[in-house]
């Protein structure tokens, strides 16, 4: 059973805000919601991580409702260079659990 579910692909025009939603109905108390970005032929790069409410950094914002069963990655004013695959992961803080990178969401930014 997949731990997270996210759209396979999204398109957006340059300059728009993009919101990618991830469902994680079976999230555990010790799970942290984490997003990575991957460009073609490169390794994934950590974007943002949160436990609850809202987290913001220089790249993105992460919105997490009180029940934590979903989360939304928000990319403000995307540019062509934001075209990439975005992975939503649940990382367990209570000890080691194998990290599963699904197929992610392929974001295509259109000029």
Partner 1 sequence: DGGITQSPKYLFRKEGQNVTLSCEQNLNHDAMYWYRQDPGQGLRLIYYSQIVNDFQKGDIAEGYSVSREKKESFPLTVTSAQKNPTAFYLCASSTQLAGSYEQYFGPGTRLTVT
Q: Is 4 helix (H, G, I), strand (E, B) or coil?
A: coil
Q: Least distance in Å: CB of 97 to partner 1?
A: 5
Please report, as residue ranges, which positions from 65 to 94 form the binding site for partner 1 (by CB under 8 A). Answer: 87, 91-94
Residues in 10-39 that interact with partner 1 by CB under 8 A:
32, 34
Distance CA 86, CA 52 (A): 20
Q: Indicate whether 50 belongs to the interface with partner 1 (CB under 8 A).
A: no
Q: Which of 1, 29, 42, 66 binds partner 1 (CB under 8 A)?
A: 42
- C-beta of residue 52 within 8 angstroms of C-beta of residue 41: no
Q: What's the chain's Rg over C-alpha atoms?
A: 13
SS3 63: strand
CB of 99 to partner 1, least distance (A): 6
């Amino acid at each position: 059973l997949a731990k997270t579910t996210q759209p396979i692909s999204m398109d957006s025009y340059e300059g728009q805000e993009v919101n990618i939603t991830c469902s994680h109905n079976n999230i555990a108390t010790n799970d942290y919601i984490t997003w990575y970005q991957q460009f073609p032929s490169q390794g994934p790069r950590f974007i943002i991580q949160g436990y609850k409410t809202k987290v913001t950094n220089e790249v993105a914002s992460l919105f997490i409702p009180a029940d934590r069963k979903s989360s939304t990655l928000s990319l403000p004013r995307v540019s062509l260079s934001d075209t990439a695959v975005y992975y939503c992961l649940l990382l367990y803080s209570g000890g080691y659990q194998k990290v599963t990178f699904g197929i992610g969401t392929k974001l295509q930014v259109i000029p």
